[in-house]
Structure 1
Amino acid sequence: MRIGYPCVNESLDCTTASTFRLASYSDERVEQTVRNNLACLLRILQYNVQHNLRFFRIGSNLVPFGSHPINTFPWQTHFAAEFRAIGDYIKAHDMRVSFHPDQFVVLNSPDAGIVQRSVQELVYQGSMLDLMGLDGTAKLQIHAGGLYGDRESALTRWIATYKTLPDAVKRRLVVENDDRLYSLQDCLRLFDAVGVPVLFDNFHHECLNSGEPMSMAVQLAAATWHPTHDGPLMIDYSSQALGERKGKHTNTMQEDLFRSFLEDLRGIDADIMLEIKDKEASAHRACAILTDLGRLAPVSTPAL
């Protein structure tokens, strides 16, 4: 089991998402920005290893305008050694990483242009994992998309688009249940149609479900992951912010709820991403709980 958090480390003085305005584009800006972003990514991964946080979601903006036609800088070859070194570090320390493309990535849109740009974004983000030399257990996480007034047609379009994706994207793609439109059962239909694994979001399941108890829901999602090709089930974990609108994530982990959720896993091997606003602060506490329960080995830090 691994514990992680997404995109931003609030303990360090750097970011992996430095960018600039499209109107200010130049190859020189791309080169310097990517160099800084990759250096920060390595710092974050080193911090995470030191603290036994071995699951990390990399921010989508590592390469500014990475899927935009304006970006003609050959960043894939220029930074090949840096990407490979990061991948080697990830593998050497038994880490797992992923990307979660932004909400504009919609495979079931009726607009062909949106679908085309979505596919280009998936190709761009997947190519970074390829450059790192990581296998198919490093995933690209997306939602099923919109309803557009007709759930069945929307699901049919998603399936049709999936079948056109490059194999390099297919082997990494996973679909997440959301809190308003597509439940776990909808995502399981996509798995049945094309074999796409279902990334399970416990909080979204609490907001939108078909009556499945949490323990059953986790089991259903876990069964969609091939143990070798896909690796352990990925879970997004959060809970409701007290006193806020339904669906708003908590600012900090509520330890009693997290312990209760761990009981629902019932021995399932899973990697848990804490979608909680205080990032690594809650992740440290989650690691302590898992260590106390004997479900996570105490931190052992190899040489950096």
Structure 2
Amino acid sequence: MTTPTYGLVCLTLGPEVRFRTITLTRFRALPPEQRAATLLDLYAANISRLRGAATYCAARGIRLYRLSSSLFPMLDLDGDDTGASVLAHLAPQLLEAGQAFQNAGIRLLMHPEQFIVLNSDRPEVRASSLRAITTHAHVMDTMGLERSHWNLLLLHGGKGGRAAELQALIPDLPDPVRLRLGLENDERAYSPRDLLPVCEATGTPLILDAHHHVVHDRLPDQEHPSVREWVLAARRTWHPPEWQVVHLSNGLDGPQDRRHSHLISHLPSAYHDVPWIEVEAKGKEEALADLHARLHYRA
């Protein structure tokens, strides 16, 4: 058995790792001459808090951290480069934040918003999705994160029934996106079975979420034999396999509940040799501490 690394997702339950934001409505209500100053203050504060997240994780031995995809609101607005100009001004500080994680030996991933649908049947959605995912990749570049699946940029399969379209577009994605891209199964549109051929054909790693798999296939629980089969099938898409990441969550009111529980009560035996596990639990850092205290196993 391996000793897994459990990952913290974006925020803490407590106040230690929190980020500021602004809505599009509020941003557009600002006088044009105030918009850059507002974003400068917000972006600088979030970069400082990101540095704090590196310190927080390092102090607790957390070696896997999911970056929030909302660190820099308004960065991908169509026809408005205010956010991009502000971030360019703060690039040295953002690079220092990235180096703080790397110096602490913390692996960084990002899982952008659900509205990114690269294989939509609507051209305007495809265009906005590509703009958004390219912006996220630019943030990772600015942080000094290597363009590889070590620093994963994770998406779901997108529009249901359009796996062929997804497979066709991946090779043409910009390198900062394509070289980091990973695909995760979901509860409704794309099972691991649907995504595996896409991943194999495009060199894209498959991130297995056992909870999503159980809900999608209406299985009794995460001890179903197919979970282990998909762990191994997904591992074959990772190069090297030691970089494999899976997602871990439990249903709030049973295996079929899509809502995540506060703590992890069940760690599937199929994950016994997975090296990197992102914990998607409402309890955030409490769930990680509880895992280490109760369910952490060693070889």
TM-score range with shorter-chain normalisation?
0.7 to 0.9
Matched residues, percent identical? 25
For 1:138 and 1:129, the matched residues in 2 are separated by 8
1:233 aligns with 2:235: no
2:151 to 120, 127, 138: 138
TM-score normalised by L of structure 2: 0.87
Match in the other structure for 1:46: 55
Deviations 1:139-191 (A, max 9, x none): 111110122xxx2xx11221222232101110111110001111001110111
For 2:93 and 2:292, the matched residues in 1 are separated by 29
For 1:32 and 1:266, the matched residues in 2 are separated by 44
For 1:104 and 1:207, the matched residues in 2 are separated by 21
Amino acid of the structure 1 residue aligned with 2:13: E
Q: Please say if residues 36 and 86 of structure 2, whose CA atoms lie closer than 8 Å, have aligned partners that are also in contact.
A: no
Match in the other structure for 2:188: 180
Amino acid of the structure 1 residue aligned with 2:111: H
Match in the other structure for 1:171: 179
Give the Å deviation of 1:122: 0.8
TM-score normalised by L of structure 1: 0.86
For 2:59 and 2:29, the matched residues in 1 are separated by 38
Matched pairs, number: 281
For 1:28 and 1:245, the matched residues in 2 are separated by 47
Give the Å deviation of 1:95: 0.6
1:293 to 280, 292, 297: 297
Q: Please say if residues 262 and 287 of structure 2, whose CA atoms lie closer than 8 Å, have aligned partners that are also in contact.
A: no
Q: Please say if residues 156 and 184 of structure 2, whose CA atoms lie closer than 8 Å, have aligned partners that are also in contact.
A: yes
1:6 aligns with 2:9: yes
2:135 to 98, 107, 124: 124
Q: Please say if residues 263 and 290 of structure 2, whose CA atoms lie closer than 8 Å, have aligned partners that are also in contact.
A: no
Q: Please say if residues 3 and 53 of structure 1, whose CA atoms lie closer than 8 Å, have aligned partners that are also in contact.
A: yes
Unaligned runs of 5+ in 2: none
Q: Please say if residues 179 and 205 of structure 1, whose CA atoms lie closer than 8 Å, have aligned partners that are also in contact.
A: yes
Deviations 1:50-100 (A, max 9, x none): 111121111111111111132424134211111111121111111111111
Match in the other structure for 1:156: 164
RMSD: 2.1
1:272 to 251, 273, 277: 277
Match in the other structure for 1:27: 36
For 2:51 and 2:179, the matched residues in 1 are separated by 25
For 2:247 and 2:86, the matched residues in 1 are separated by 31
For 2:61 and 2:154, the matched residues in 1 are separated by 23
Q: Please say if residues 215 and 255 of structure 2, whose CA atoms lie closer than 8 Å, have aligned partners that are also in contact.
A: no
Unaligned runs of 5+ in 1: 296-304
